[in-house]
Structure formats: C-alpha cells, structure tokens
Amino acid sequence: MKIAIIGTGYVGLTTAVVFAYLNHDVAAVDKDERKLNLLHEGRSPIHEPGIQSLLEEVQHAIRFTPSVTEVVPEAELILIAVGTPPKKNGEADTQHVVQAAKEVAQVCLPDRHYTLVVKSTVPIGTNQRVVEVVEEVFSERGIQGNISIASNPEFLQEGLALQGAFYPDRIVVGANSDKAIDTLRRLYKPILEQTFDPPSEFPRPASYHLPPMMTTDPNSAEMIKYAANTFLALKISFINEIAGLCEKAEADVTEVARGIGLDARIGNRFLQAGLGWGGSCYPKDTAALLRVAAQSGYEMPITEAARTVNFRQRKRVVEKLHSTLGTLKGKTIGILGLAFKPNTDDIREAPALDIVRELIAAGATVQAHDPIAIANARLALNENAETDNDKLFFTEDVYELSYDADALVLVTEWELYHKLELRRLAKQMKTPILIDGRNVFSPEEARAAGFHYIGVGRP
Ligand code: UGA
C-alpha cells in the first residue's frame, strides 16, 4: 500500500520504518530541515533501540521529503503523526494536526479515494474538526473530494517503540466509514496475522498472541488514548503513594507491589515505585485530559491527585537529602541519570531536571551523568539560565561522579547502573549516602558496600 506519513518524530518515524519493513511503500514528510538532512543520510534523528539498523534495512521502501504535494496525491492512506505540544493552560495544541489536514486536502485528487488517519494524541473531538477542515478546503477548491477519516491512536513506549509496533497489545481504530476501517485492516494485516518474518533484533515473543483490531467511533478512540495513559499514570502514582506510607510504617513497597500484582485483576506491571513519571506523554496527556474536563465543567479528582502525587516524588528526594545532610549549601550531589527513562535521550519532563534545579536553588553543586542524554539535558538546563553554570557539571565517566560527593541520587534506572561497583563509589565519597530513586539496588548490598542507603518506600 502506498502510504504518506506526516511527521517524523518518535511515532511518525517508528511507524514509517515498521510499515516499510512490512513491504508498504512509504513516504514520510517533515518540514524540519535538520531532521530531513539526517534522514537523507540514512541516520535516525531519534534515539530508539534498533531504529538505526532497521532504517538502513528498509532504505529501498522509504523516502523522506518536505513536500506534502509530492507524496499525498498518489498515496492511498495518509497518517498524521505530528506533535500536539501542551499550551500554557495544559490544553493540547492541535494546530499542527489541523494544518497537516488542510495541506492534505489541498493536494488530494478529486477523482481518488483517500483514507486520512490521525495518529497524534489529540483531544476528544479533533477527528470531527479534521472532517470539517477537510470539507472547508474541498469547498474552497470547488471539488467534491473523497476522503474517509479515522482515528488510530498510538500506544508506543519510548525505548520499546519498535517492539511495541511489531507486537502491539491491540490496534484501536475510530471511524464512521467502513472504507477507512477496511483500508486500516489491510495496512495492519501483517501485524494482525503476524505473517512477517521478524527482524533479527525483534524476535516474536514466545507468549505473543495475535492482537485484536478494535473498531469504534472516533470520539471513543480519542478518549481511549487519554484514558489508557491516565490509567497507567495513576497506577504508578498509586504505588508511589503507598510507598510514602511504607516509609512511615516500615513496610517494603517492592514486596507490597509483588503481593498486589499477583492478583490478576491488578497485574504486576507499572507498579514500580520511584521518582514517578516524566516524558512527553503522561504529564502532557493528564493535563490535556483535565483541560477537556474543565471545558465541560467536569471535575476529575483522581487524575488531579495522580499528578500531585507524581510531582511530589521529586520534592521528596530533595527532602530526603535535607534530612540526611542538613543544609545542602556547599554540598556536592551526584545525579545518576538524566533521561526520563532508560534507553532514550529524551529529557522532556524528566524528574532529573526538577531535582537538579531544586538542588542548585538550595545551594548545592550538582554533577550529573547519563549515557546518552547529557547533550539534551545541558540544553534544557542551561538554555533558560535557570541554573548557575558554576554549580552544574556533566560527566561521561560515571565513577567521576562520586569524587568528594556528599550524596548520590539515582534518578534513571539505566542498565549500566545496575552493575556499578558500589564499594568503589562509596569509597570515593565525602559521605557515602545513596538515594536510590528507582529502587535499583539491593539495600543489603548497598549497605554492605558502605553506603547509607535510602530507597523509595523501603525500610
Ligand atoms: C507512554 C505509554 O506507556 C505508551 O503506551 C503511550 O503510547 C505513550 O506514553 C504515548 O502517549 O506516546 P512513555 O511515556 O514512552 O509511554 O513511557 P512509559 O514506559 O509508559 O513510562 C513513562 C514514565 O513512567 C517513565 O518516566 C517511567 O520511569 C515511569 N514509570 C513507569 C514508573 O515510574 N513506574 C513504572 O512502574 C512504570
């Protein structure tokens, strides 16, 4: 199938590469010259495990262009995967989605049928707005036009994006037209039936079952995306709230999570207590959902509380440092991990940024390490002059962090941190305090290595 994808961010590029791998004929459009230059050189502008090699493998089936006009007229299906960044009031800004829909409608051929699919995460009612925009453009052009519009929300996790695209739990399609549903069913056929040969880096999991394609109306599909993210966000906030009480009650939240997770109704995933969620999705989508609710005069206290608990986790780390070190003025704190989660260089809404800012505001000096996110973090922290440059240092040598440090804080659970030589780190420190913000280390081992160990929700 000939498909055009508008936007080459995490969602757009992953989708483009996967569909090219599945033998569709893919054209991806982006206006960002920097990204296009990289893509033309065969290099991925995003860091995502496996994407670079897959991009090289599917070069023959994919092309990148800044021009909608060049690729949309001949496409059968067009996917919109542009960003919907938050406005100041939390609302998701859909202007890029609307603009992309206009551009598509402007170049569609009047005698052909197209399926236009919105993959971006958008507030409820946006697909309806896209229908109206397309009709407005058609009437300006004086043509009838023949487009079916569908919502097909994306459930990819950064760091696991390709795995999730080849082996999804489900595919959700919201459409009022059978034609759109049929086209999407053909698009996803190799995934729905798992008829493709798995790429060597992404073998099919032994326990994997064929995914259902759920069809529904567009508003419900849009709501499914927000509800799924909000539910996962509040599951994490729930265990973090329990973790706080475990600290008071001398219980161990990792044991509690294990015990409740064994109940099939609860399930054991997304119950890792720690520094809570960051990234471009949960913070943005919970805020956007609250805006949608506010616009309808509806209160969502559970969603509000999930956010409050989440952002409190970041403050609690600084409080723990205060209570062990006394003042933070003149103290040196080492930060292990800057990315919002492992296997990505994405630092959007990362807990580390807030923690670094708070520590510097309290008079501490910060030394930070991350295997790949230093460049992005440096930009985010220095760009707005929010931090004093003399107080913030980055290092690519993780052991350098501990020299004369007063405490270490593990913020992102990178695999390499699991294997750190704790004894060596502790020996180099002024005071061997380890705040384990993701419960990565065994408290017994950390203590045996000489650390004063403080996890999240562990006695
Ligand atoms: C999330 C959803 O998982 C995807 O299904 C969705 O498609 C995506 O948002 C999106 O809307 O685009 P993502 O934000 O990439 O994906 O990452 P997650 O793996 O869900 O993790 C989000 C945050 O939760 C991370 O900061 C992680 O450290 C934190 N987390 C996760 C916990 O604190 N505890 C857990 O048990 C799990």
Distance 44 CA to ligand 1 centre (A): 22
Q: Are residues 29 and 171 in the same domain?
A: yes
Determine, yes or no, domain membership for 252.
Answer: no
Share of the chain above pLDDT 90, in %: 98
Which residues does a 6 A CB cutoff place in the pocket of ligand 1?
121, 154-158, 229, 232, 236, 270-272, 274, 276-279, 281-282, 285, 340-341
Over residues 326-338, the mean pLDDT reads: 97
Within 8 A by CB and 6+ apart from 212, the residues are 170, 171
Q: Around Cβ 167, how many Cβ atoms within 10 Å?
A: 18
Q: Are residues 182 and 300 in the same domain?
A: no
Question: 44 with 56: CB under 8 angstroms?
Answer: no
Q: What is the mean pLDDT of the chain?
A: 96
Determine, yes or no, domain membership for 55.
Answer: yes
Determine, yes or no, domain membership for 244.
Answer: no
Nearest CA to ligand 1 atom 23: 277
Distance 282 CA to ligand 1 centre (A): 7
The predicted-structure confidence for 197-250, as pLDDT tens digits, reads as follows 999 999 999 999 999 999 999 999 999 999 999 999 999 999 999 999 999 999
Residue 407, SS3 per DSSP: strand
Q: Are residues 99 and 7 in the same domain?
A: yes
Active site residue 108: no
Domain end point (choices 191, 216, 241): 216
Q: Are residues 288 and 154 in the same domain?
A: no
342-351, 359-368, 380-389: least confident range: 380-389
Determine, yes or no, domain membership for 262.
Answer: no
Nearest CA to ligand 1 atom 20: 157
Determine, yes or no, domain membership for 240.
Answer: no
Nearest CA to ligand 1 atom 13: 157
> What are the beta bridge partners of residue 77?
3, 115
Determine, yes or no, domain membership for 275.
Answer: no
pLDDT of residue 29: 98
Mutate to test the pocket of ligand 1, among 84, 281, 307 (most ligand atoms within 8 A of CB): 281
pTM: 0.95
Q: Are residues 418 and 298 in the same domain?
A: yes
Describe the strand order of the beta sheet including 433-436 as a list of residue ranges.
392-395, 365-369, 332-336, 407-410, 433-436, 452-454
Residue 386 has pLDDT above 60, yes or no: no
Question: 358 with 318: CB under 8 angstroms?
Answer: yes
Q: Are residues 187 and 328 in the same domain?
A: no
Nearest CA to ligand 1 atom 24: 277
Q: Are residues 170 and 287 in the same domain?
A: no
Distance 340 CA to ligand 1 centre (A): 9
Over residues 336-358, the mean pLDDT reads: 96
Domain end point (choices 192, 216, 240): 216
Distance 228 CA to ligand 1 centre (A): 11
Q: How sure is the predictor about 387, in pLDDT bands with cuts at 50, 70 and 90?
A: low
Residue 388 has pLDDT above 60, yes or no: no
User: What is the per-residue burial (b if ≥16 Cβ within 10 Å, else e) of 413-449?
Assistant: bbeebeebebeebbebbeebbbbbbbbbbebeebbeb
Residue 327 has pLDDT above 60, yes or no: yes
CATH number at residue 388: 3.40.50.720
Smallest CA-to-CA distance from 124 within 204, 43, 205, 226 is with: 226
Quote the CA–CA distance of 9 and 188 in Å, as a whole number: 20
Domain end point (choices 216, 238, 269): 216
- Domain of 104? 2-216
The predicted-structure confidence for 174-199, as pLDDT tens digits, reads as follows 999 999 999 999 999 999 999 999 99
The predicted-structure confidence for 61-105, as pLDDT tens digits, reads as follows 999 999 999 999 999 999 999 999 999 999 999 999 999 999 999
Residue 428 has pLDDT above 70, yes or no: yes
Q: Which of 243, 281, 359, 420 is catalytic?
A: 281
Which atom number of ligand 1 is nearest to the Cα of residue 285?
11
The predicted-structure confidence for 300-311, as pLDDT tens digits, reads as follows 999 999 999 999
Distance 234 CA to ligand 1 centre (A): 11
Q: Are residues 159 and 296 in the same domain?
A: no
Residue 260 has pLDDT above 80, yes or no: yes
Distance 158 CA to ligand 1 centre (A): 8
pLDDT of residue 389: 72
Determine, yes or no, domain membership for 149.
Answer: yes
pLDDT of residue 360: 95
Q: Are residues 207 and 310 in the same domain?
A: no
Over residues 379-388, the mean pLDDT reads: 67
pLDDT of residue 459: 87
Q: Are residues 13 and 116 in the same domain?
A: yes
Nearest CA to ligand 1 atom 19: 157
pLDDT of residue 23: 96
Determine, yes or no, domain membership for 198.
Answer: yes
pLDDT of residue 383: 58
Q: Are residues 450 and 304 in the same domain?
A: yes
CA 196 to chain centre: 26
Q: Are residues 23 and 171 in the same domain?
A: yes
Which atom number of ligand 1 is nearest to the Cα of residue 351?
26
Q: Report how many domains make up the chain.
A: 2
Nearest CA to ligand 1 atom 25: 277
The predicted-structure confidence for 139-176, as pLDDT tens digits, reads as follows 999 999 999 999 999 999 999 999 999 999 999 999 99
